[in-house]
Chains A and B, each alone.
Chain A
Amino acid sequence: MFSEDNVVRSHKGRAETLGNFIVLFFAIIFARLWYLQIYKGDELHRYSMENRLRKEVLLAPRGMIYSRNNQLLVHNIPRFDAVIVPQYLSGRKQVLEKLGQVLDLTSEDIDKTLKKNLRQPRYQPVIIKKNISRREVAVIETENSKMPGVSVMTFISREYQDKEVGGHILGYISEISQSQLPKLRERDNYDYKLGDFIGQAGLEEERDLELRGEDGHEFIEVDALGRRKRYLGANKLFEGIEGKAPVPGDNIRLTIDRDMQQAAYKALEGKVGSAVAIDVKTGEVMAMVSHPSFDPGQFSRGISSAYWSDLSNDERNPMRDRTVQEHYSPGSTFKAITAIAALEEGIVDAKTEVNCPGYFQLGRRRFHCWKQYGHGKVNLIKSLRESCDVYYYKIGTQIDIDTLAKYAKALGFGNKSGISLPRETPGLIPTKEWKKKLRGTEWQKGETLSCVIGQSFVLSTPLQLAMAYAGIANGGKIFRPRLVKEVFSNSGKVIRSPEPELISEIKLKPETLALVREGLKQVVNNPKGTSWWNRGQGIAMSGKTGTSQVISMSAEKLFMKCQDKEYRFRHHGVFAAYAPYDDPRIAVSVIVEHGCSGSGAAAPVAKEIVTAFMKKYEPEKMARNIEVQRQEYLRILRERKRIEAQAADEENRVEPTEGSEE
């Protein structure tokens, strides 16, 4: 047995071998240093002096966006920026002055821009002016030799075919700002740089990762002035570096129908409001317009300050997407939901009649009907057709607010729809618990009376309203509204085509549906209906008008003519509909802010959208309906002629009297 001392000594051989290995390893290092510094030294020295290797980013083309019928809505166009590469800048003062003349900038401005970017490596280009004109590009390119360090870089910007139409759903791309940078880096685990473009609203934001693709890069050899010389050849020195081709972003086919979208936008012109049309069988959004709007293309070209201040100073807030980011009292359009709840709960049936004297007395409080002197005897169908408030006040005394909330929520109210648009608001359906939590007070019976006619706490986005009416049309199914029909690659391969997604389904009695649907049909298709004047031509629309009170007012003010009120106190006009009523395919909702009434302001917009739909998707049915309408009209005309003839006969017999013309 060795003593421990001897054990250590016995390892001395290995220690020496280790020492030899160390020498050997450093010999390799020295050999390599010799190769690089002595054998290749002069060549590499020259390289370092000229800095001939440069990495250039190859931007990935962003995915394109198509309409449901394959019309191109968004595509890419080149944008030219004037840049300076500080490394190659010589004769600074003259160059800046000359460039200033070309670009219509002062040399101080250019100097400031350069100073702001002092921190970045000097071989990285600094953007001096974005989106320069073709003429400016030509001047810079030809005067290149007189302005060392100045060059033109090509970027990709977005072109939105229909400009303002659908600006909100498409969104826009713009540069990442200083404050966004860390958050986005964290979110996507990607090394974004200041000034990279990213989707900032609408689908461009929500689907950014799909649309964006992946940037590539290439290595190029440049001359002493930074001009591209040639692609890297088979130089052994540059082994191990290779370019990366950019991967183009995926393309998106929307569920949006371009014609309907344009019809909706046109109908909303001159108004402040929004319109949504969805497919009742799938939840696909076919039109979605908020007005006033903005041109998304402006943002991707580096927005001009004039355009931006126009947008931000506009009191109507054009940047706001009124279809999902804004909620309103649905007004009388909500009566259809109250009617469903009351019928299902057995509070009323087809035969229930309520007398409407123009008001409803609850304790000391008087609730007014919109019709000052009342509707007389009202049943359910008439209550919808003529929008009698008193009928619903009566229901309001018998229905529990939580029960009403149950039905409203089952029809999609009070929750975010989950559409792929940013910053959606959930709207609000009040419950007793909600009020207690928020206000700390108990629910008042009178409050239910306001809620059943869609006022006070009840708030809905236009999208939710359309979803609910789609639910009435299809028998109680609420689908997740979708904007994206499919995502496909540049080679045309379909990557994803989402299936309709059922959010909730409520089983409703056939009598309930039949009654409510008949009521909604008569609103538009019965001469006594509140929207008879917007029945259109052959579009077979069922719907409901509504008025959303901006502020609660006294009775006297309530009956004051809306047009006489100050703009900001005027009611919002609401209209929700579906069509065709015999086999519904789309549901539409329209809100016109301060439009005074649903029938006057909102319903005409819905009529235009439904007409656009029927023309395109149900032309035969529409033609048939028009024919039926025409026959009906002719019949009435004949009838009238007959009566007139009869009257004339009588006139001939009797002495003619003055007056009484129809």
Chain B
Amino acid sequence: MISTSAFVEALKKYDFSFFGISSAIFFIGVINLYSATHASDDMSELYIRQLGWFGLAMIMGIGVSFISPKNFFRFSWFIYIMFIIQLALVLVMGDMGMGARRWITLGPLRYQPSELAKIAVVLGLARWFAKSDSDRELGFPQLIVPAIIAFIPTILIALEPDLGTGLLVLLVFFSVCFYRKLKWKTIAILAVLGVISGMVMYNFGLKEYQKKRVVTFLNPEADLRGSGYNAVQSKIAIGSGRFLGKGFKKSSQASLSYLPENHTDFVFSIFNEEHGFFGSMFLIALYIILFFRFIWLASSVPRMFDSIVSIGIMSILFWHTFVNMGMVMGLLPIVGLPLPFMSYGGTSLMTFGICCGIATSISNARNLF
């Protein structure tokens, strides 16, 4: 009886919000996936597999949620080093696909270490920041070590080459630094430096064909798929949804296969085509609630490590969401990042499931206080 009541107690304290919101998004996503692929011969069963992946992601996420945050802290360096090794291994002996070397094959399993490495970077950064004068504002000298922690995996990932994920790690790094009170002055200097050097490089350092070549080199998939064409078709799909959308299973862009990759990178376009501006408002509201849940969590935990991890994980999810939405509507170049819980893909679902698990674990530990 004691164990039962302890279990009930634990259940009462269990924070369902993270899994709850993300499941809501996932179910919208899987219905959307079904709609996007139902007309296709070889992908019409894809949503079933996606449900399978979700089940697996849930099991892993919930499993992780029962690990005490103290253990995240204790093993953060170990996890970080493990992933650096894996990223290096991918470059040496990974599987080629679409002109890039991203996968490690373990028996029947194929997975991309770069996906989970994002979480490892967050753990590494949190560990470092939690230990070093965590009440002081950050200037350039304090950025040196964290920059090394973030840049090693960034470079390894960019070499695969996977520009999108590499950039994402950098964005997460800056988000975490911002939260850890990066001085406004430093931010301004960094921003000015970044913009100037970027503009000089792009406008004067490179010729037109070189720019294209660099882009193609860094992201070979983009050229294979004819990114410009996809971007335009994606814009047409989004715009054609107008306010209320064409309705469930009515996407003409998808059924005519005008939009390739409509089950992975371009799910948001199909969603917009079928459910319009109104549907998007609802979906984006769910994402915003999820992100704010993370921010609230970050401010209500007793330990700095937990707080930084919450922000870091939130920024992983946020940047995926923003970059994906931005690229399908023609605001950002097409770099191939999935939309969390919406895009088809086992590894990415697993990653986001573990993200929720870590947040839930942190939240539950706070209630135990």
Contact = CB atoms under 8 A, between A and B. Distances in A.
A470 to B, nearest CB: 44
Contacts of A10: 135
Contacts of B231: 240-241
B37 interface: no
A315 B135 CA distance: 89
A37 B235 contact: no
Nearest to A25: B322
Contacts of A245: none
A241 B298 CA distance: 43
B295 A19 contact: yes
A22 B253 CA distance: 30
Contact of A36 (B238, B256, B288): B238
A119 interface: yes
Contacts of A649: none
B280 interface: yes
Interface stretch (B74-82, B118-126, B198-206, B301-309): B301-309
Interface stretch (B54-62, B109-117, B325-333, B347-355): B325-333
Given A10-B135, A241-B228, A121 B256 contact: yes
A29 B322 CA distance: 8
A11 interface: yes
A17 B322 CA distance: 17
A448 B86 CA distance: 60
Interface in A8-39: 8-12, 14-19, 22-23, 25-26, 28-30, 32-34, 36-38
Given A15-B299, A119-B42, A237 B257 contact: no
Interface string A465-478: 00000000000000
B9 interface: no
A23 B301 CA distance: 23
A45 B240 contact: yes
A121 B258 contact: yes
B45 to A, nearest CB: 14
Residue with the greatest number of chain B CB neighbours at <10 A, chosen from A22, A26, A48: A48
Main secondary structure on B side of the interface with A: helix
Contacts of B178: 14, 17-18
Interface size class of A (residues with CB under 8 A): 35 or more
A44 B243 contact: no
A67 B241 CA distance: 60
Given A26-B288, A51-B256, A36 B329 contact: yes
Nearest to B182: A14
Residue with the greatest number of chain A CB neighbours at <10 A, chosen from B41, B42, B291, B299: B299
Contact of B301 (A8, A18, A51, A219): A8
A493 B205 CA distance: 29
A620 interface: no
Contact of B276 (A18, A19, A37): A37
A25 B314 CA distance: 14
A44 B240 contact: yes
A242 interface: yes
Contacts of A36: 235, 238-239, 329
Residue with the greatest number of chain B CB neighbours at <10 A, chosen from A18, A32, A49, A53: A18
Given A23-B288, A49-B252, A33 B330 contact: no
Contacts of A23: 288
Contact of B232 (A14, A22, A45, A53): A53
A29 B299 contact: no
Residue with the greatest number of chain A CB neighbours at <10 A, chosen from B231, B280, B329: B329
B127 interface: no
Contacts of A189: 99
A123 interface: yes
B311 A237 contact: no
Contacts of A633: none
Contact of A33 (B236, B272, B322): B272
Given A8-B301, A53-B233, A241-B231, A45 B288 contact: no
Nearest to B333: A240
Nearest to B296: A15
Contacts, number: 160
B299 A9 contact: yes
Contacts of B241: 37, 41
A45 B256 contact: no
Contacts of A219: 229
Contact of B330 (A49, A119, A191, A240): A240
B239 A37 contact: yes
A42 interface: yes
Contacts of A237: 232, 235-236
Contact of B181 (A2, A11, A37): A11
Interface in B229-274: 229, 231-233, 235-243, 252-253, 256-258, 272-273
Interface string B128-155: 0000001100000000000000000000
Interface size class of B (residues with CB under 8 A): 35 or more
Contacts of B301: 8
B41 A18 contact: no
Contacts of B175: 18
A53 to B, nearest CB: 6
Contacts of A15: 179, 295, 298-299, 311
B239 A45 contact: yes
B304 A4 contact: yes
B239 A5 contact: no
A119 B41 contact: yes
A238 B277 contact: no
B310 to A, nearest CB: 9
A122 interface: yes
Contacts of A17: 178
B311 A44 contact: no
B239 A44 contact: yes
A624 interface: no
B101 interface: no
Contacts of B257: 120-123
A33 B240 contact: no
Interface string B285-303: 0011001100100110111
A384 B194 CA distance: 83
Contacts of A7: 134-135, 304
Nearest to A37: B277
A43 interface: yes
Contact of A51 (B99, B258, B291, B299): B258
A241 B232 contact: yes
Contacts of B326: 28-29, 32
Contacts of B243: 37-38, 41
A118 interface: yes
Contact of A48 (B253, B291, B299): B253
Interface string A117-145: 01111110000000000000000000000
B358 to A, nearest CB: 17
Nearest to A87: B256
Contacts of A29: 284, 322, 325-326, 329, 331
A47 interface: yes
Contact of A14 (B179, B235, B318): B179
A55 interface: yes
A317 to B, nearest CB: 38
A47 B284 CA distance: 26
B288 A55 contact: no
B102 interface: no
A4 B277 contact: no
Contacts of A41: 239-243
A40 interface: yes
Given A4-B304, A7-B135, A38-B242, A48 B237 contact: yes
18 contacts: A4-B303, A8-B301, A8-B302, A8-B304, A11-B180, A11-B304, A19-B292, A29-B329, A36-B329, A37-B243, A41-B243, A44-B236, A44-B240, A45-B240, A55-B229, A217-B226, A241-B228, A241-B232
Given A48-B237, A240-B330, 9 more contacts: A7-B135, A7-B304, A8-B298, A11-B307, A25-B322, A34-B277, A37-B243, A47-B239, A191-B224
CB-based closest 7 A-B pairs: A44-B239, A121-B257, A48-B240, A241-B228, A41-B242, A36-B239, A45-B240
